[in-house]
């Protein structure tokens, strides 16, 4: 007799190859319109499935989980970040939470360097000048940016992505500085010739570029506060491909507007998808629509991890990418 396939509900459109494989393995319900579910729709879905596969656009907090029935056993998140899920509340209710770590590392690191280069060299400003007809010919002092080679880059969070950024930055001739909860291994530190700062304040005052690669947790909320942002040198730039809540966006916008710092490259925002209108008007801010993992390869790999986590759970084993409260 065939084993009953678990009911899986996917909240957003995933790559075709992933959706097809999920349909083969599980009793899968897809979101063919790709419209984000309302809270009511999400709650209804969670009440009639064994496995919910949400994304960052789905807020699954403690109040939501209190209303979920007993059927839901696994939240197989499509994404590495789980700040939209109350993992502790899910764990207390006996619901396993998994994510998709590791597969986004290179893509996010690549985009970080893209934002860094675009911000330092004023690439978007230059492209806009050409499109608008402002470009009338080469001039010695027009559209001057900053050289990348020789700059000191300060990396906040030396995990997989932070280390990948550091390797790329070193290849561009940058000097690597970083702040982390603890120093990187001696092997990594030696490979990167990296300088560790246990004081974030001291590092910020000394680097030319700050790039954020920490998870969004209560401890990292506004880690780059107004006070800390004011420690940056006037020529410094800020890059964020992690989570918008880690930076005080209003304070950053004010510093950019007054030219107290030189620029920012942001792929994430504090009230995403809403973006501060003042930030949108700034020529020294390079803004992208949360596309750090937006490669075909990354999104397929993410889907494959979701499938592995569900299949492992279905077979009665511990999913390889289970997230526990103490890990956050």
Q: Is 36 in contact with 56 (CB distance < 8 Å)?
A: no
CA–CA separation, 56 and 37 (whole Å): 12
Kindly list the catalytic residues: 243, 272, 290
Contact 100, 80 (CB under 8 A): yes
Q: Are 302 and 104 spatial neighbours (Cβ–Cβ below 8 Å)?
A: yes
Give the number of other Cβ atoms within 10 Å of residue 172's Cβ. Answer: 14
Distances (CA, A) of 175 to 155, 161, 194, 246: 11, 17, 7, 24
Euclidean distance between CA atoms 169 and 176, whole angstroms = 7
Structure tokens at 110: 């690549």
Per-residue b or e along 225-235, where b marks 16 or more CB atoms closer than 10 Å to that residue's CB? eeebbebbeee
Count of other CB atoms within 10 angstroms of residue 288: 18
How far is the CA of 238 from the CAs of 44, 45, 80, 206, in angstroms?
41, 40, 22, 13
CA 101 to chain centroid, in Å, comes to: 11
Give the up-direction half-sphere exposure of residue 144: CA atoms within 13 A in the CB hemisphere: 5
Contacts of 133 by beta carbon, 8 Å cutoff, 6+ apart: none
């Amino acid at each position: 007799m065939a084993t009953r396939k678990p009911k899986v509900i996917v909240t957003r459109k995933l790559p075709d190859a992933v959706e097809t494989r999920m349909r083969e393995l599980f009793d899968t319900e897809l979101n063919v319109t790709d419209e984000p579910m309302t809270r009511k729709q999400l709650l209804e879905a969670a009440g009639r499935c064994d496995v919910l596969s949400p994304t960052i656009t789905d807020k699954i907090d403690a109040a939501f989980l209190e209303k979920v029935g007993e059927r839901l056993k696994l939240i197989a998140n499509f994404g590495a970040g789980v700040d939209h899920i109350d993992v502790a509340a899910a764990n207390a209710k006996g619901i396993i939470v998994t994510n998709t770590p590791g597969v986004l590392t290179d893509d996010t690191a690549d985009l970080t360097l893209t934002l860094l280069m675009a911000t330092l060299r004023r690439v978007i400003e230059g492209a806009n000048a050409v499109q608008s007809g402002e470009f009338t010919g080469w001039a010695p002092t027009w559209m001057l940016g900053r050289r990348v080679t020789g700059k000191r880059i300060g990396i906040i969070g030396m995990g997989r992505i932070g280390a990948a950024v550091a390797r790329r930055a070193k290849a561009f001739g940058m000097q690597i500085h970083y702040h982390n909860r603890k120093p990187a291994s001696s092997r990594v530190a030696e490979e990167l010739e990296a300088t560790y700062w246990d004081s974030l304040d001291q590092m910020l005052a000394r680097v030319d570029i700050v790039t954020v690669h920490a998870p969004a947790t209560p401890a990292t909320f506004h880690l780059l506060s107004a006070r800390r942002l004011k420690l940056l040198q006037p020529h410094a730039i800020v890059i964020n491909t992690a989570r918008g809540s880690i930076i005080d966006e209003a304070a950053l916008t004010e510093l950019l507007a007054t030219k107290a710092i030189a620029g920012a490259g942001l792929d994430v925002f504090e009230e995403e998808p809403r973006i501060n209108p003042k930030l949108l008007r700034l020529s020294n801010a390079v803004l992208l629509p949360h596309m750090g993992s937006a490669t075909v390869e990354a999104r397929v790999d993410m889907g494959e991890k979701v499938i592995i986590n569900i299949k492992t759970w279905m077979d009665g084993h511990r999913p390889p990418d289970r997230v526990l409260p103490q890990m956050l």
